[in-house]
Homo-oligomer: A and B are copies of this chain.
């Protein structure tokens, strides 16, 4: 981190920034309870704890007015009929937004509020998606190559899994006869029916 201007290049093959401060890799085992078809999940995990996605962050001080950015690379595939996806998160500072810009591949950004509103927007090259404050967000790869996005968020944001670790997102993105369909997640409960009270 530095107080002078800085730059990084994203090459159009690997999409790895030429400089970054943090790199996270999420494998199947980090997604316990997220995929709807738990048998298919356990079976896939038994075969190999394979990499689902990686994220490169250009970090900045945790201060209002600073922004963090980076790229997220989500591999294609399915667990049962469900397309591979990121874990998704709320922001710890709920009143902060996020901007996505699609660089490669195709998919969807699933979003929801703690109160149960939901939305989905397509992700593909040249697509801007605005995630307003309070909306959790999860990327889903519905294509056959890596889904790559450039993201920017206020640096004081933080991440918070909230209800996601207990019950996933309200909606699932499933392969129905070769088409991506959005369907209800039967495990999802509205806030008033949850055991744990949202923080």
Contacts and interface: CB of A to CB of B under 8 A. Distances in A.
A80 interface: no
6 contacts: A5-B132, A9-B126, A58-B128, A65-B96, A67-B99, A67-B152
Interface string A157-171: 000000000000000
Nearest to A120: B5
Interface stretch (A10-18, A175-183, A184-192): A10-18
A132 B3 contact: yes
Contact of A97 (B65, B109, B132, B133): B65
A25 interface: no
Interface of A: 2-12, 17, 58, 60, 63-67, 69, 93, 95-99, 101, 109, 111, 117, 119, 121-122, 125-133, 135, 150, 152-154
Contacts of A3: 132
A124 to B, nearest CB: 8
Given A101-B150, A128-B150, 13 more contacts: A4-B117, A4-B132, A5-B129, A8-B128, A9-B126, A10-B126, A17-B128, A58-B128, A65-B133, A65-B154, A66-B97, A67-B154, A69-B99
Contacts of A121: 5-7
A10 B128 contact: yes
A152 B99 contact: yes
A69 B121 CA distance: 17
A194 B128 CA distance: 42
A7 B97 contact: no
B119 A93 contact: no
A7 B132 contact: no
Contacts of A95: 63-65
Contact of A101 (B98, B101, B133): B101
